[in-house]
Amino acid sequence: MMGSAIRRIAVLGSTGSIGTSTLDVVAAHPERLSVVALAAGRNRELFLRQCERFRPACVSVRDVEDAKWLRSTLSYGPEIHSGPEGLLACALHSEGNTVVAAVVGAAGLQSTEAALRSGRRVCVANKESLVMGGALMRAAMEAGGGELLPVDSEHAALHQLLNGRDPLSIREVRITASGGPFREWDMARIQAATREEALNHPTWKMGPKITIDSSTLMNKGLEVIEASVLFGLAVDQIAVTVHPQSQVHAMVGFRDGTYQLQVSANDMKLPIQYTLLYPEKLSGPVPSYDWDNSRSWTFEAPDLERFPCLGLAYAALRSGGTAPAILNAANEIAVAAFLDGRIGFWDIQACNSEVLAHLPSEPAASLEAVLAADRNARDNARSWIALK
């Protein structure tokens, strides 16, 4: 039976927030889930501990020096790789049938594409690859005959809500946003926000890049683009509702005026487990929702003036072609510069807006075209930052 297949998993980005949660889910289902490959960036101490615990057949780290260190330190002898080729070797290892794509940023593009093309189940957390090359990712999945399951909590929620639904009955989908740490701040205070304030997310514990993206609402903008790629929806069918409690993850609005909502605790292990075990729902490492604990939920519209990055994402989605890749690349450079203390918080949206307006959108017809747009946008963003 398809549902009870043993998932032999390659985790790309195993040392990150999603990667470590994935390994917790694997450890909770040893009869169903096993690890065949692990790939990480530069956190070699944590990576070593993960390798010793799960003993994957294939491992990879970003730098050659760390690969040498692993070779001399590991207590067993897996295949050891490094760099982008290492990510591919892990994704395509012959013993694997499932890939969790959890590298952050454009660094995950090629391995996600290759995994989809190989016909495996690919659980995609790396939303940047879907934003940059959405149509290419779908084409790769269709060519390989595999599956693409979204790990992002809002999209895993939509996957559950839309499953088996007649597309003609759907009026709109809504993904929720916590609103981030600056939801109630006025414009002047947001403009002067510090790195520490932006990293202080109210409801989710995540890696630094996505945490900054949540504070600008760029993350929600990337997710709007991701939703259009995953579910084939028109831009006007995808809306955002701010819901600070992060318990409702998505809603589907039907033609008859009714809505269905998906609710769970805000713990990424839930959508990770959903994608790994789909279509089965087994008990897992997160307690089920407690309805007897009284609570309030609130909902409000996002404010595009204080959070212009959300509007930029809609504009990029409307332009199509390489515009989403351009916006994503500018944003990666701007967020890295903000985290390094080279630009201020408000400069992130200014940089993204300038680069998106300056560079024309071209057809995103091949991986090369997308990568060229990505490089060009990064150069533009770096020049903009250097002139500040």
Ligand X SMILES: NC(=O)c1ccc[n+]([C@@H]2O[C@H](COP(=O)([O-])OP(=O)(O)OC[C@H]3O[C@@H](n4cnc5c(N)ncnc54)[C@H](OP(=O)(O)O)[C@@H]3O)[C@@H](O)[C@H]2O)c1
The distance of closest approach from Cβ of residue 107 to ligand X in the complex, given in angstroms and rounded to an integer, is 4
The distance of closest approach from Cβ of residue 16 to ligand X in the complex, given in angstroms and rounded to an integer, is 2
Q: Which is nearer to ligand X, 87 or 364 (CB)?
A: 87
Give the CA count within 13 Å in the CB-facing half-sphere of 28: 18
Size of the site for ligand X (CB under 6 A): 29
For 260, the enclosing helix (H) or strand (E) is strand 259-263
Q: Which of 126, 160, 215, 322 binds ligand X (CB under 6 A)?
A: 126
Q: Which is nearer to ligand X, 42 or 255 (CB)?
A: 42
State yes or no: residue 106 binds ligand X (CB under 6 A).
no
Q: Which of 7, 8, 10, 13 binds ligand X (CB under 6 A)?
A: 13
State yes or no: residue 202 binds ligand X (CB under 6 A).
no
Cis peptide before 279 (omega within 30 of 0): yes
Q: Which of 8, 10, 15, 384 binds ligand X (CB under 6 A)?
A: 15
Helices (H) and strands (E) in the chain, counts: 16, 11
The distance of closest approach from Cβ of residue 29 to ligand X in the complex, given in angstroms and rounded to an integer, is 20
**What is the footprint of ligand X within residues 343-382 (CB under 6 A)?**
none
State yes or no: residue 146 binds ligand X (CB under 6 A).
no
Which residue carries 């680069």 as its tokens?
Answer: 355
Q: Which is nearer to ligand X, 118 or 328 (CB)?
A: 328
Helices (H), the chain: 17-28, 44-54, 64-73, 83-91, 109-117, 127-144, 153-162, 187-191, 195-198, 208-216, 218-231, 269-277, 308-319, 323-339, 345-358, 367-386
**What is the footprint of ligand X within residues 34-53 (CB under 6 A)?**
39-43
139 vs 229: CA distance, rounded Å: 11
Nearest of 203, 199, 223, 182 to residue 338 by alpha carbon: 199
Name every residue whose Cβ is closer than 8 Å to that of residue 297 and which is 6 or more positions away in sequence. Answer: 243, 245, 247, 248
State yes or no: residue 134 binds ligand X (CB under 6 A).
no
The distance of closest approach from Cβ of residue 189 to ligand X in the complex, given in angstroms and rounded to an integer, is 26
State yes or no: residue 99 binds ligand X (CB under 6 A).
no
Residue 81 — φ and ψ, nearest 5°? -125, 175
Number of neighbours of residue 355 by Cβ within 10 angstroms: 26
Q: Which of 104, 116, 173, 359 binds ligand X (CB under 6 A)?
A: 104
Which residues lie near ligand X (CB under 6 A)?
Answer: 13-19, 39-43, 62, 87, 102-104, 107, 125-128, 152, 204, 206-207, 209-210, 268
